[in-house]
Amino acid sequence: MQNTLIQTWQEKVSKFAAQSEEMGELHPEILELAYQENWFKLFVPEIYGGAGKKLPEILRLEEELAEADGSLGWTVTLCAGAGWFAGFLNPELAEEIFEDEKACFAGSGAVGGVAIETENGYLITGHWKYASGALHATIFTANCILKNGDGTDILDEEGNPEIMSFILKRDEVTILSGWSYFGLIATGSHAFEVDNLQVPKNRAFKINNDIAVADEGFDYPFLQLAETTLAVNSLGMAQHFIRLVEDSFYARTGLRRYNDNQIAFFKSELGKCKTEVSSLKEAFYKNFDQSWDQLIQKSSIADEQLDAVSKVSRKLAHACRRAADTLFPYCGLEAARKESEINRVWRDLHTASQHALLTFES
């Protein structure tokens, strides 16, 4: 039964993925599926209506989502990842937010704003880029530098400008259409801004500080949480691309010009790429699962284990991009046609590879 259900959602996603790209946002059918499956609340504590899944299951699901459609996988990953902040929020605020069954977080990890402390809260002005899912998000998270009323910086214990995260509501932000990149088009990762927005004190929060509400494993370190979730997106897209490559090669109009040695060379290159991605996938999940087991059993993860998770996440992401680059020339002009599925997958993978956490392999 489970396989039937998985195939059903994959078929629906495949049916509407190209239309999502044309629209520049997830198709309503795909969006409705995401709400039904609670995908945007994968990390939200169960007390607030979260999906009740743990990180090992979430990573494997995000891989499947990205393999079905890069924009879907990326949007769910980034929106659900922002929803993880729910565990650090004022409980009354969180309950208010999640009264909406379609509550969905979007935001930016960049420090794009300034928050001036006032008697009743904070006065916020700022501009933030790349908020995946902005067009259907109900909540935006924004990082700001804190300042006193006289404009001076509020300093942390180490003497550096204090950074705080804030919850902004949909009707408080202005979305700026500007996601004009060649891949992940349906993520609708537009910018947003606010100008002199007054928010109450309970809208401020800090991640990895005091956890207000949490499920088991909620305290998995944020850096490795981000690295692993991004890596499985590259993995899913690469697996999709590799599946399409073989069909594209043998469908080339110029195939008859190739001799047996040339065809054998392609098969060898394809096999090498499959092997590298597959072996790094195995190493990735092995290292991650070990880190998860340490957290659950010992309530902490050894630094060397976290370092291993970070390294294998980046190695996997880079291997996925290399595989796509190695195999792309063998796919013919169909792979260069922007309306084709294989071209969309290639563009999505390369756009995802530009995330700052994935830039360097070591």
Q: Summarize pLDDT for 175-201 with one digit per residue, the tens.
A: 999 899 999 999 999 999 999 999 999
| CA pair distance 199, 123, nearest whole angstrom | 6
Q: Has residue 346 been placed in a domain?
A: yes
Q: How far is CA 358 from the centre of its chain?
A: 12
Domain end residue (candidates: 171, 205, 239) = 205
Domain CATH number, residue 43: 1.10.540.10
Whose tokens are 């379609």? That residue is 102
What domain range includes position 184? 103-205
Asked whether residue 76 falls in the same domain as residue 118, the answer is: no
Mean pLDDT of 324-347: 96
Asked whether residue 172 falls in the same domain as residue 229, the answer is: no
Residue among 48, 154, 168, 178 at smallest CA distance from 107: 168
Whose tokens are 């956890």? That residue is 211
Mean pLDDT of 98-120: 95
Q: How many CB atoms lie within 10 A of CB 66?
A: 30
Asked whether residue 348 falls in the same domain as residue 238, the answer is: yes
Kindly tell me if the per-residue pLDDT of 2 is higher than 90: no
Q: Has residue 97 been placed in a domain?
A: no
Asked whether residue 227 falls in the same domain as residue 281, the answer is: yes
Q: How many CB atoms lie within 10 A of CB 326?
A: 15
Kindly tell me if the per-residue pLDDT of 1 is higher than 50: no
What pLDDT does 7 receive?
Answer: 56
Mean pLDDT of 268-278: 98
| CA pair distance 89, 113, nearest whole angstrom | 19
What pLDDT does 362 receive?
Answer: 85
Domain CATH number, residue 300: 1.20.140.10
Q: Has residue 210 been placed in a domain?
A: no
Kindly tell me if the per-residue pLDDT of 209 is higher than 80: no
Whose tokens are 């933030």? That residue is 128
Summarised one tens digit per residue, pLDDT across range 221-267 is 999 999 999 999 999 999 999 999 999 999 998 899 999 999 999 99
Summarised one tens digit per residue, pLDDT across range 283-306 is 999 999 999 999 999 999 999 999
Query: Which residue did the predictor score with more confidence, 6 or 344?
Result: 344
| CA pair distance 77, 315, nearest whole angstrom | 19
| CA pair distance 285, 241, nearest whole angstrom | 21
| CA pair distance 362, 358, nearest whole angstrom | 10
Pairing, β 139-147 against β 105-117: parallel
Instruction: Identify the three-state secondary structure at position 123.
Output: strand
Reported residue count of the chain is 362
Identify residue 55 by its one-letter amino acid code.
L
Domain end residue (candidates: 205, 240, 262) = 205
- Full-prediction pTM beyond 0.85? yes
Q: How far is CA 351 from the centre of its chain?
A: 12
CA distances from 296 to 217, 291, 311 (A): 7, 9, 22
H or E segment to which residue 272 belongs = helix 260-298
Asked whether residue 241 falls in the same domain as residue 201, the answer is: no
User: Are the beta carbons of 37 and 62 closer than 8 angstroms?
Assistant: no
Domains in the chain, number? 3
What pLDDT does 261 receive?
Answer: 97
Mean pLDDT of 135-150: 96
Percent of the chain predicted with pLDDT > 90: 90
